[in-house]
Structures are given as C-alpha cells and as structure tokens.
C-alpha cells in the first residue's frame, strides 16, 4: 500500500474564503439592484438625493466579462487630494460577483497592511474592504440612490 501524505485542513481559512466569496455575491446583488452597472457605458455618473452628498460612479472600463468602476463622493482628502471615501470595484458579469479591489478611507492599502503582507493579512484586508462596500451600498440604497437618480455626466477625460 502506497504511503499517502495528508495535510490537516484549516477550517478557519476555508470559512474566511467562503465568507469573502459570499460577500462578493451579496455586493453584486446590491450593486445590480441600485445601478445595473453592466448596462452603463464608460464615463461619469452622478447620483443626487438632496442630502448634499452627491455620489460619483465612474465606469472606468468595460470588458467582455467584467466592468471596472469607482464609487466616491465629491469629497477630497485634504492631505492627498484623493476622493475620500472611494472604492474601486470589479464587477464579474458572468459570475455575478462584485469585488472591491481598492478602497481609500483615509489611507491606502499599503499604509493599512504594509507592502509585503502575509496571505492571511491580505485575505483579512479584502474581507474588510468588501464588508465596507456592502455596508456602503446598503446605505446608498436606504438614502434613495439608484437608477432613477443617476445622471450621465459624460466621458471622463
């Protein structure tokens, strides 16, 4: 009988990864309900609901299976000049998932987890970013943002 090597399964890692994939699916549902990004052309959109916080939705690129976009307010970080908060989102049209790839909430990912973080730290950071995105999308829906408030501003220069 051949000798078979086995590795113990770390259930915590599997559960965290499964949770992340579930967040991607939930974020896609929320984003799709609000703005149907798969149908938007490249350019800038603004959603106003009368609360003084206009939402900017930039469709950066459209590809065969993905849509790249950025969500932000018309607020800038006084130190960096970056929109704050903002989230870059990759929408996987075929898999029906939406992944926050980068978030800027007062600081960049390198400042939050370092330049060469271990894989577990990267997974934890992705969980935090996508939890933030899900809560932000829920908040936007509760405030009344959606296709009915979205106005095309033109192609970004």
Tens-level pLDDT at each residue, the chain (157 residues): 566 666 665 655 568 888 899 999 999 999 999 999 999 999 999 999 999 889 999 999 999 999 999 999 877 666 666 766 789 999 999 999 999 998 875 445 445 555 566 665 767 888 888 999 999 999 999 999 999 999 999 986 4
Does the residue 5 lie in any domain? no
Q: How many domains does the chain have?
A: 1
Does the residue 62 lie in any domain? yes
Flag whether the pTM goes above 0.85: no
Q: What is the pLDDT of residue 106?
A: 47
Query: Exposed (0-12), middle (13-18) or buried (19+): which is 140, by Cβ within 10 Å?
Result: buried
Does the residue 108 lie in any domain? yes
| Structural domain containing residue 21 | 11-154
Does the residue 6 lie in any domain? no
């Amino acid at each position: 009988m051949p000798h078979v090597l086995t590795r113990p399964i770390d259930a915590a890692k599997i559960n965290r990864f499964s949770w992340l994939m579930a967040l991607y699916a939930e974020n896609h549902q929320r984003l799709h309900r609000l703005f149907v990004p798969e149908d938007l052309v490249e350019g800038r959109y603004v959603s106003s609901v009368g609360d003084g916080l206009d939402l900017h939705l930039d469709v950066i690129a459209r590809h065969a299976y993905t849509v790249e976009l950025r969500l932000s307010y018309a607020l800038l970080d006084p130190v960096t000049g970056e929109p704050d908060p903002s989230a870059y989102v990759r929408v996987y049209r075929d898999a029906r998932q939406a992944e926050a790839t980068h978030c800027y909430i007062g600081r960049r990912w390198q400042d939050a987890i370092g330049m060469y973080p271990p894989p577990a730290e990267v997974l934890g950071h992705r969980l935090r970013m996508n939890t933030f995105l899900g809560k932000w999308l829920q908040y936007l829906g509760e405030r009344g943002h959606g296709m009915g408030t979205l106005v095309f501003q033109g192609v970004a220069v």
